[in-house]
């Protein structure tokens, strides 16, 4: 299984009133890293013709992230069949290597032309294996 990783640093804009990263920000990071992974691995003709929408999302929060923490976002696809794909995102404190949160999201593969779900092409599945 192929993984994609990126690093971010927690800023003041990421924090809630408890000075922890806001839960909404974690969801945004999940969406952002999934999109980055898609755009960096899929060829332009594919990304122009197709896109993904989030169908369901489960996230488990383990530990807080704080201002200036360096965070590793690690993502990989565990299953793709029909029109859906399941993607995992692990949010890890880079310094301590401790898991802060983990998400499992079901995405639907969509045609840009019809704006309807479309079967995941074998070419797409191979990108993420």
> Band of the pLDDT at 128, cuts 50, 70, 90?
confident
Cα(27)–Cα(91) distance, rounded to whole angstroms? Answer: 11
Tens-place pLDDT, residues 98-113: 999 999 999 999 999 9
CA separation for the pair 37, 20 (Å, rounded) = 26
* CA 70/CA 103 separation, integer angstroms: 19
pLDDT averaged over every residue in the chain: 96
Architecture of the 3-127 domain: Roll (3.10)
Phi and psi at 34, nearest 5°, equal -65, -45
What's CA 98's distance to the chain center, in Å? 18
């Amino acid at each position: 299984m192929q993984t994609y990783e990126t690093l971010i640093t927690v800023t003041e804009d990421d924090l809630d009133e408890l000075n922890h990263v806001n839960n909404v920000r974690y969801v945004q990071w999940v969406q952002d890293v999934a999109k980055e992974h898609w755009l960096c691995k899929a060829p332009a003709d594919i990304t122009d013709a197709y896109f993904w929408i989030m169908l369901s999302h489960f996230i488990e929060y383990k530990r807080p992230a704080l201002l200036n923490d360096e965070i590793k976002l690690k993502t990989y696809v565990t299953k793709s069949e029909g029109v859906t794909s399941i993607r995992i995102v692990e949010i890890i404190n880079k310094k301590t290597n401790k898991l802060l949160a983990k998400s499992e999201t079901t995405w639907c593969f969509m045609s840009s032309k019809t704006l309807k779900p479309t079967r995941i092409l074998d070419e797409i599945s191979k990108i993420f294996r």
